[in-house]
Amino acid sequence: MFVAATLALLITMTLTLVRALLGPTIFDRILAVNSFGTKTVLLIAVYGFLMGRPDFVDIALVYSLINYIGTIAVLKFFEYDDLGSGAYQEDDF
């Protein structure tokens, strides 16, 4: 069961990497990397159970949060060309 889930996750991670390499726009690549991160979280959790040591789940927990923060940071950089800027300025509207 865990072997099947690990294999499915590895195959889909390969497909996601193909999209990240092909992706015509930068947002396709960001989407693929974010999706890859979600699959990595699941893979770490399943692999811990496969090896009989479910303690690996801690790492999956941390990875899911870092994946989210990384995606948001990259998106903010592409939206404002700056990581330190605030939200919208009043004259944007």
Partner 1 sequence: MFDWLIWLLSWIFIGIGCVFIVAGAIGLLRMPDLYTRLHAASVTDTGGAIFIVLGLMLQAFFVFDNPMAGIKVVLVLFFTLFTAPTASHALAKTALLSGHVPTDENGDPILDSPETAQKLARSRPEK
Q: Does 78 bind partner 1 (CB under 8 A)?
A: yes
Q: Rounded CA gap, 74 and 5, in Å?
A: 30
Please state, in angstroms and rounded to a whole number, the distance separating the CA atoms of residues 58 and 36.
18
Count CB atoms within 10 A of the CB of residue 37.
Answer: 17
Among 88, 89, 90, 91, binds partner 1 (CB under 8 A): 88
Backbone angles phi, psi at 34, to 5 degrees: -65, -45
In the complex, the residues that contact partner 1 under the rule CB under 8 A are 1-2, 4-5, 8-9, 11-13, 15-16, 18-19, 25, 27-28, 30-32, 34-35, 38-39, 41-42, 45-46, 48-49, 52, 54-55, 57-58, 60-61, 64-65, 67-68, 71-72, 75, 78-79, 88, 92-93
